[in-house]
Amino acid sequence: MDNFSKNIRSMFDSICGRYDFMNHLLSCGLDIYWRKNMVKHSLLNYAKVFSGGGPQEIIKIADIASGTGDVIKEVITSIDKTGAIFKGRQIDIFCADFSLPMVKIAKRKLEKILLRRKSRVRINYVICDAQNSCFKDSSMDMVFIAFGLRNFSAIDKFLSEELKRIMNKRRSMAVILEFNNIFNYRLFAFFQIYYNYFIALLAKIFSKNIAAYKYLVDSIKRLASDEEILKMFTDSGFKIFNYGKIFPFIVSRYIAIINNS
Ligand SMILES: C[S@@+](CC[C@H](N)C(=O)[O-])C[C@H]1O[C@@H](n2cnc3c(N)ncnc32)[C@H](O)[C@@H]1O
């Protein structure tokens, strides 16, 4: 793992305890809606595109850069409502992150949810670098990454090599949720002020790690534009199946499949 990723890992290790609270606070609770939107769209689209497959086939879903497991929480609660393809099927979910403290929190949260459900969902917890993971070639049917992409050292390399490698070549979907770089647009002046000043202020009051929240804003400023990210997907051999900005249009959803044509 390179030094850039090592620094990011220790930063996430240090903020894990207040991670959920700060997410909800800084986004005014919108982060819950963003994940719900991404999960609902992707499960419906997956069911539409890949309707085949017998009930004996296990569906494998990876949540990469899973953090405290909120994407998986949405997947578990919506999977039976969103398309016949998931009904009666065994679902194996892989909760993967390189921060052990984050995954420990995810495990505590998700095991409680699983206990309350009679579902065929199994969750495996994996500690690994997303850019060089331990997943087998062509092993995943769905791969989710929410707010993880901008932390990777080279997004284009990740898409063209690692993401493509682990995705099932016949029937898989990559689903990415990420902030968009609003610093490119004058129209978003309100959010630029919010990011530049209010996030720092809230971090000062509610978190001990102000640097982590400075990194949050800097990583958004450094991020490629949506158009550049869309181009990275197509250059990496993916077809964009669904793309959209989610209210209040500061977060984008990318749903991509491997371009086999
Ligand atoms: C902003 S959080 C997002 C967490 C979660 N997906 C969510 O929606 O809240 C980013 C997560 O990505 C993880 N992460 C960043 N770079 C990573 C890498 N190269 N490999 C694995 N995990 C990574 C961090 O440890 C952190 O838990």
* Residue 55 reports pLDDT greater than 90: no
Cα–ligand 1 centroid distance for 245 (angstroms): 21
How confident is the model at residue 188, as a pLDDT? Answer: 81
Contact 114, 145 (CB under 8 A): no
Under the banding of pLDDT at 50, 70 and 90, the label for residue 53 is low
How confident is the model at residue 79, as a pLDDT? Answer: 85
Q: Per the structure block, which two tokens stand in for 180?
A: 């968009």
Contact 31, 68 (CB under 8 A): no
What is the percent of the chain where pLDDT is above 70? 97
What share of residues in the chain are helix, strand, coil (percent, to 5)?
50, 20, 30
Q: Whose CA is nearest to atom 16 of ligand 1?
A: 151
Under the banding of pLDDT at 50, 70 and 90, the label for residue 118 is low
The whole-number average pLDDT for the span 190-218 is 91
Measured from CB, residues less than 6 Å from any atom of ligand 1 are: 5, 8-9, 12, 65-67, 70-71, 97-99, 102, 129-131, 146-148, 151-152
* Test site for ligand 1: of 151, 152, 176, most ligand atoms within 8 A of the Cβ: 151
How confident is the model at residue 174, as a pLDDT? Answer: 98
The whole-number average pLDDT for the span 91-119 is 93
Under the banding of pLDDT at 50, 70 and 90, the label for residue 85 is confident
> Strand 251-258 vs strand 173-179: parallel, antiparallel, or unpaired?
antiparallel
How confident is the model at residue 238, as a pLDDT? Answer: 97
Tell me the CATH number at 180: 3.40.50.150
Report pTM: 0.95
> Sheet harboring 238-246: ordered strands across?
121-127, 91-97, 59-64, 142-146, 173-179, 251-258, 238-246
Structural domain of residue 137, as residue ranges?
3-258
* Residue 80 reports pLDDT greater than 80: no
CA distance 137 to 153: 21
Q: Where are the beta strands (DSSP E) in the chain?
A: 59-64, 91-97, 121-127, 142-146, 173-179, 238-246, 251-258
Domain count, the chain: 1
Under the banding of pLDDT at 50, 70 and 90, the label for residue 218 is very high
How confident is the model at residue 117, as a pLDDT? Answer: 75
Cα–ligand 1 centroid distance for 82 (angstroms): 26
CA distance 5 to 164: 21
CA distance 6 to 29: 29
How confident is the model at residue 228, as a pLDDT? Answer: 97
How confident is the model at residue 33, as a pLDDT? Answer: 98
Cα–ligand 1 centroid distance for 237 (angstroms): 24
Q: What rounded mean pLDDT belongs to the chain?
A: 92
The model's pLDDT over 134-170, given as tens digits with 9 standing for 90+, comes to 999 999 999 999 999 999 999 999 999 999 999 999 8
